[in-house]
Amino acid sequence: MQTTSLTVEKGSVELGPNVLSGVSLPAAVVYEDPLIHNVEWMQRFAEAHGARLAPHGKTTMTPALFHRQLQAGAWGITLATAPQCRAAFAHGVTRLLMANQLVGKANMAIIATLIEQGATFYCVVDSQENVRQLGRFFAERGLYLSVLIEVGVEGGRCGCRNQQEIVSLAEAIAEEPALSLVGLEGYEGVVHGDNPESGIRAYAQYLVDVAVELEAAQRFSEPNPIVTASGSAWYDVIAEAFRGAPLQGRFTPVLRPGCYVVHDHGLYREAQSAVMARRPDLQQGLEPALEVFAQVQSLPEPGLAIVALGKRDIGYDQLPIPLRRYREAGEVAQPLSVTGWEVTKIMDQHTFLRLPEEAKDVAIGDIVAFGASHPCLTFDKWRQLLLVDAQLNVKEHLATCF
Amino acid sequence: MQTTSLTVEKGSVELGPNVLSGVSLPAAVVYEDPLIHNVEWMQRFAEAHGARLAPHGKTTMTPALFHRQLQAGAWGITLATAPQCRAAFAHGVTRLLMANQLVGKANMAIIATLIEQGATFYCVVDSQENVRQLGRFFAERGLYLSVLIEVGVEGGRCGCRNQQEIVSLAEAIAEEPALSLVGLEGYEGVVHGDNPESGIRAYAQYLVDVAVELEAAQRFSEPNPIVTASGSAWYDVIAEAFRGAPLQGRFTPVLRPGCYVVHDHGLYREAQSAVMARRPDLQQGLEPALEVFAQVQSLPEPGLAIVALGKRDIGYDQLPIPLRRYREAGEVAQPLSVTGWEVTKIMDQHTFLRLPEEAKDVAIGDIVAFGASHPCLTFDKWRQLLLVDAQLNVKEHLATCF
């Protein structure tokens, strides 16, 4: 027996075109209006700061969203792995910024093929050994590889730990005919310290200073070298540092937040509040666009509902947050209350909801909309999500390519 | 630009047929010999206890593994959701035990279609409301639905909390012409208490007692009603209770462990040690068969390696466990030591490894094999895993259908 892959996936539309009637739940939905808002908002933000935007694609790995980001003006798409780059390129993304080290011959071969097929590709390096490996591999393939030096911090993740290492690495790159040093990369999300804000400001300034110094020493092999950093929590601080005089007109500053595209109801909502507090000039910030809908399957004890939603369906770095409740086939305009409802536990396929005393009308089959913290780890649970309008009508299936 | 789905997935074979040379890492591998051993071992275990085996398919959602389990003699496959049942049926599994409530019209419609297409299907019920919903839906479709009553425990997950509820529910089922009560279901994994073993023995005995009582009261609509329980941690205790005189010959006892098929290096390894301690008669227990291979991408500070492995690639209920290390294209027979290596943190795409003082020969590109706790949450990270022999040669791509 065979069937098309679409029909065996979670969340496919079975009976009708609305999430409350006819969609097999659980299902992950992306609301179109806030999605459009977020895509445009961040594009405008980057442009207002003289920066290019290369949204991190690993968050969604959803080509339809990459296309929206590019159509809004994004310079390219950032990715984390060679297979992610291959997937994005296969769906028409031609400028790929791999904000990660490229290791392993199989992964190098994936990238070599993409370059042969016309991709504009960048990856980062932080060790002499990796530089030699890449230099040898791409020389043997008769190809050129553009690399950025990763600027790290002590106690952080990847990246050179000091300026001496950076300069030595630039020299090593210069010795590899197949490699071109085209910029610097950093990730401020791993900067720690008593005061994250001042730590990140100092780190951003360090990144700018090193870029200017390397350029003065003619270390870059192309004009307008790239300087890139920023996740979705501190992009404003990075953008301000990049907006300063030393980079403008001489470098290509690139911001690469990912989670902003659908935002969230946890970690990034808090981070965005902090952005808006730091930058009162910014109008109407990001809006959460991603929710997971699931149904009450059991009401086994007073005050306890078990929902057919699990770790297979939603990110659980933090417990999911109940947002609204609907009757199956009910009115979108009249959601029922979830005041006082609290998720106490999540298992592979079940979520435990503690209900307040007054929640007496809960019924088997009631549909609960949940928000999550950290969209990356919700997207990767789904082979497709549903793009919906404000009335929860399904407008499009958003296929992922994790 | 288009490409087949296979080539854009993680872990596809690029250059060569061995995990150490030519496979894009990270990749999840299943070792064939321990897989065969586990499949046969659990089948023999069930048969030795007079029970049928319906392995929980949600663990792997890998049809090629379902086929191995069925070929070894499994009675059917257990699943957790309607889309999972649809996926298993689409791949030739005809007896589907959904050890969960069936809620929502879209999910009921999926199941109705499977029944129309010839599936033998069972689901569980624990509320009058769900019984009425199912009775109405399947009557309207002109179909019969076989249900098992879920027997829960106070403070547990789903399931009737006492015998009175069970009897009332049996009466409600009898009033629905479209429904047939064909057995009882329980899940001992949610039984808590000071002494889990005695709690689970008592729960298993309760399940048997209730089954016998309902049968005496002629509540079941078929001969040899099903009595089913067991995950992969306490299956021995359940099997012993099911082996007792009251069930044999009159009931169909069904065990449904899932994780056993590839076992693990964490939670279930500990659980299996406990099984072997309780049952010294059992020969050569389960063997871990699932590992994730990934490469060192950065060595930014003494004592720290960053590995290209993240929450996107491996379960992280517990931190991954480094097992062995290889050189790229190195000898499988001569893995390098990881003594004293410890994962301290895992992010979306990166793992932090703390290295001991003496680990001075670690190189960029070194391949580390990791074990995980809880295989369910590693399988669901992959659209395909690699079936390998002991020499890490790739024998087959195992497609998943999450």
Flag if B103 and A364 touch (Cβ within 8 Å). Answer: yes
Q: Do A349 and B106 touch (CB under 8 A)?
A: no
Shortest distance between the Cα of B249 and any Cα of chain A, in A, equals 32
With CA atoms as reference, report the closest residue to B346 among B317, B368, B383: B317
Show residues of chain A in contact with B156, CB under 8 Å. 300
Residue in A closest to B15 by C-alpha = A106
> How deeply is B139 buried, as exposed, middle or buried, from its count of CB atoms within 10 A (0-12, 13-18, 19+)?
middle
Q: Are residue B112 and residue B240 in the same domain, yes or no?
A: yes
- Confidence check: pLDDT of B217 > 50: yes
From the list B15, B23, B107, the residue facing A24 with the nearest CB is B107
How many pairs of residues across A and B have Cβ atoms under 8 Å apart?
Answer: 221
**CB contacts, 8 Å: A8 with chain B:** 83, 86-87, 90, 401
Question: Which chain B residue lies closest to A296 (C-alpha atoms)?
Answer: B103
Please give the pLDDT value at position B276: 95
Same domain for A217 and A110: yes
pLDDT-based confidence at B2, cuts 50/70/90? very low
The tens digit of pLDDT for each residue in A59-103 reads: 999 999 999 999 999 999 999 999 999 999 999 999 999 999 999
CATH number at residue A381: 2.40.37.20
CB A160, CB A151: distance < 8 Å: yes
Query: Is residue A116 located within the same domain as residue A161?
Result: yes
- Same domain assignment for residues B246 and B313: no
Is the domain of A240 the same as that of A349?
Answer: no
Interchain proximity A365–B133, CB inside 8 Å:
yes
How many angstroms separate the CA of residue A153 from the nearest CA in chain B? Answer: 9
Cβ-defined contact of A106 to B24 (cutoff 8 Å): yes
The tally of domains found in chain B comes to 2
* Pick from A8, A86, A100: CB nearest B8: A86
Instruction: Name the stretches of chain A with pLDDT < 50.
Output: 1-8, 14-15
Of A1, A7, A377, the CB nearest to B311: A377
| Chain-centre distance for alpha carbon A179 | 28
Q: Exposed (0-12), middle (13-18) or buried (19+): which is B140, by Cβ within 10 Å?
A: exposed
Say yes or no for a CB contact (<8 Å) between B24 and A349.
no
Q: Which of A107, A350, A402 sits opposite B157 (nearest CB)?
A: A350
Residue B195 pLDDT class (50, 70, 90 cuts) = confident
- The Cα of B399 is separated from the nearest Cα of chain A by a number of Å equal to 11
Question: Does A9 map to a domain?
Answer: no
Answer for the pair A287, A37: CB distance below 8 angstroms, yes or no: yes
What is the model's pLDDT at position B10?
64
Whether residues B381 and A380 touch (CB distance < 8 A) is answered with yes
- What is the pLDDT, as a whole number, of residue A28? 97
Task: Name which of A101, A125, A259, A301 to mutate to probe chain B: the one with the most chain B Cβ atoms within 10 A of its Cβ.
Answer: A101
- Identify the band that residue B283 occupies on the pLDDT scale cut at 50, 70 and 90: confident
In this structure, the answer to whether residues A233 and A310 fall within a common structural domain is no
Mean pLDDT of B15-31: 90
pLDDT of residue A353: 98
Name the nearest CA neighbour of A256 among A185, A336, A150. A185
Report the residue of B317, B364, B367, B378 to disrupt the A interface, i.e. the one with the largest count of A CBs within 10 Å. B364
Residue A300 and residue A244 share a domain: no
Q: Which amino acid is at A398?
A: L
How far is Cα of residue A68 from the mean position of the Cα atoms in its chain?
14
B26 lies in some domain: no
Residues B301, A133: C-beta atoms closer than 8 Å = no
Q: What is the mean pLDDT of residues B321-349?
A: 94
**Cβ separation B106–A15 shorter than 8 A:** yes
A267 domain-assigned: no
Q: Please report how the helices A235-243 and A196-216 are oriented relative to each other, as an axis angle in degrees rounded to 10.
A: 40
A275: in domain: no
Is B3–A157 a contact, with Cβ atoms under 8 angstroms apart? no
Cβ–Cβ below 8 Å for B105 and A133: no
Q: Are residues B307 and B246 in the same domain?
A: no
Would A7 be classed as within a structural domain? no
User: Domain end: B257, B279, B298, which one?
Assistant: B257
**Among all residues of chain B, which has the CA nearest to that of A8?**
B87
Under the banding of pLDDT at 50, 70 and 90, the label for residue B5 is very low
Nearest CA in chain B to A189: B347
CA distance B158 to chain A (A): 6
Q: Which domain holds residue A178?
A: 49-257
CATH number of the domain to which A54 belongs? 3.20.20.10
- Residues whose CB falls within 8 Å of the CB of residue B22, separated by 6 or more in sequence, listed in order: A105, A106, B13, B14, B15, B16
Q: Confirm whether A320 is domain-assigned.
A: yes
CB atoms within 10 A of CB A218: 8
Please tell me the distance in Å from B222's CA to the nearest CA on chain A.
Answer: 26
Residue from B8, B20, B318, B380 whose CB has the most chain A CBs within 10 Å, to mutate: B8
Give the closest-approach CA distance of B92 to chain A in angstroms. Answer: 6
Q: Identify the closest residue of chain B to A14 by CA–CA distance.
A: B106
Per-residue pLDDT at B119: 98
Q: How confident is the model at residue B11 (pLDDT cuts 50, 70, 90)?
A: low
Q: What's residue B6's pLDDT?
A: 39
Same domain, B247 and B101: yes
For residues A224 and A352, state if they share a domain: no
Provide the pLDDT confidence category of residue B96 given band limits of 50, 70 and 90. Answer: very high
| Same domain for B215 and B326 | no
On whether both B232 and B343 belong to a single domain, the answer is no
Low-confidence winner among A314-318, B75-79, B115-119 (lowest mean pLDDT): A314-318
Pick from A14, A58, A312: CB nearest B380: A312
Question: Does the pLDDT of residue B14 top 80, yes or no?
Answer: no
Q: Residue A28: inside a domain, yes or no?
A: no
Hey, what are A339's tokens?
């005041």
Domain presence at residue B29: no
Asked if B2's CB is within 8 angstroms of A87's CB, the reply is no
Of B237, B257, B277, at which residue does a domain stop?
B257
Q: SS3 helix, strand, coil % of chain A, rounded to 5? A: 30, 25, 40
Which of B10, B127, B300 faces A152 most closely, judged by CB atoms? B300
Helix B105-116 to helix B82-90 angle (10° resolution) is 30
Model pLDDT, residue A400? 97
